[in-house]
Amino acid sequence: MGLIVFSSATPLFPRIITDQTGRRVDVPENPKRIISLAPSITETLYALGLGDRIVGDTEYCDYPPEARLKPHVGALLNPSLEKIVALKPDLVLGIAEANRRETADQLDRLGVPLYGLTAHSVEETLNSIEDLGKVLGRGAQAHELVAGLRRRVDAVKQEVEHAPRPKVLFVVWYRPLITAGPHTFIADAIGIAGGISISDDLAGEWPRLSLEDALHRDPDIILFPKSESFSPSLDEFQQLAGWKDFRAVKDHRMYFVPDTINRPSPRLIDAMEEVARVLHSEQKSTARGPESSR
Amino acid sequence: MIVKPTRRNVLGLMAVLGASLVIVSAGALALGGVHLRLGEVWSGLLGADLHSEVSIIVRQIRLPRIILAALVGAALAVSGTVLQALLRNPLADPYVLGVSSGAALGAIIALWVGGRLAAASPLMAFGGALVTIAWVYLLGRRGGRLASYTLLLAGVITASFLSAIILFILTLLSTRDVRGIAFWLMGDLSVVTDVQLRILGPAVALAIGAIYFFAKDLNVLLLGEQEAAYLGVNVARVEASTFLLASFLTGMAVSVSGAIGYLGLLVPHLGRMIVGSDHRTLLPTAALGGAIVLVISDTLARTIVSPAELPVGAVTALAGAPVFIYLLRRAAG
Residues in chain A within 8 Å Cβ distance of B30: none
Q: How high is the pLDDT of residue A291?
A: 36
Q: How high is the pLDDT of residue A123?
A: 96
Whether the CB-CB separation of A270 and A260 falls below 8 Å is answered with yes
Q: How high is the pLDDT of residue B146?
A: 66
Residue of A nearest to B178 (CA): A100
A210 in contact with B, Cβ within 8 Å: no
Q: How high is the pLDDT of residue A131?
A: 95
Q: Which of A2-6, B219-223, B274-278 has the lowest mean pLDDT?
A: A2-6
Of B61, B172, B183, the CB nearest to A78: B183
A147-285 shares the fold of A15-118: yes
* B27: pLDDT strictly greater than 80: yes
**A15-118: CATH class:** alpha beta
d(CA A28, nearest CA chain B) in Å: 17
User: Does domain B64-332 match CATH 1.10.3470.10?
Assistant: yes
Q: How high is the pLDDT of residue B333?
A: 53
- Cβ of A86 within 8 Å of Cβ of B53? The answer is yes
pLDDT digits (tens, 9 = 90+) for B117-169: 666 776 787 788 888 988 887 887 777 666 777 878 888 899 999 999 998 88
Count how many Cα atoms sit within 13 Å of the Cα of residue B45 in the half-sphere of its side chain.
15
Residue of A nearest to B309 (CA): A78
What share of chain A has pLDDT > 90, as a percent? Answer: 61
- Cα of first residue to Cα of last residue in chain B, in angstroms, is 23
Whole-number average pLDDT of chain B = 86
Alpha helices in chain A (DSSP H): 39-47, 81-86, 101-109, 122-135, 139-160, 185-192, 211-217, 247-250, 267-287, 290-293
Residue of B nearest to A79 (CA): B308
Q: How high is the pLDDT of residue A36?
A: 97
From A170, A21, A177, A27, select the one nearest A99 (Cα to Cα). A21
Whether the CB-CB separation of A166 and A221 falls below 8 Å is answered with yes
Helices and strands in chain A, H and E counts:
10, 12
Q: How high is the pLDDT of residue A172?
A: 87
Residues in chain A where the model's pLDDT stays below 70: 1-14, 231, 282-294
Q: How high is the pLDDT of residue A260?
A: 92
Q: Which CATH code for domain A147-285?
A: 3.40.50.1980
pLDDT digits (tens, 9 = 90+) for B170-207: 877 766 667 777 777 888 888 888 888 898 999 999 99
Q: Round to whole Å and give the CA distance between B125 and B200.
A: 14
Q: How high is the pLDDT of residue A286?
A: 46
- Cβ of B308 within 8 Å of Cβ of A74? The answer is yes
Instruction: Provide ipTM, 2 decimals.
Output: 0.78
Q: Round to whole Å and give the CA distance between B242 and B247.
A: 8
- Cα of first residue to Cα of last residue in chain A, in angstroms, is 71
A75 in contact with B, Cβ within 8 Å: yes
**How many CB atoms sit inside 10 A of residue A284's CB?**
10
Residues B259-283: what's their mean pLDDT? 89
The residue extents of the domains of chain B are 64-332
* B249: pLDDT strictly greater than 70: yes
Q: How high is the pLDDT of residue A129?
A: 96
pLDDT digits (tens, 9 = 90+) for B51-97: 788 888 999 899 999 999 999 999 999 999 998 898 887 778 888 88
The residue extents of the domains of chain A are 15-118, 147-285
Q: How high is the pLDDT of residue B115?
A: 66
Q: Tell me the whole-structure pTM to 2 decimals.
A: 0.83
pLDDT digits (tens, 9 = 90+) for A97-133: 889 888 998 999 899 999 999 999 999 999 999 999 9
Whether the CB-CB separation of A41 and A94 falls below 8 Å is answered with yes
d(CA A289, nearest CA chain B) in Å: 41
Residues in chain B within 8 Å Cβ distance of A74: 33, 306-309
Q: Round to whole Å and give the CA distance between A197 and B179.
A: 25
- One-letter amino acid identity for B202? P
Mutate to test the interface with B, among A36, A81, A118, A262 (most CBs of B within 10 A): A81
> Going along chain B, which residue ranges are E strands?
141-142, 145-146
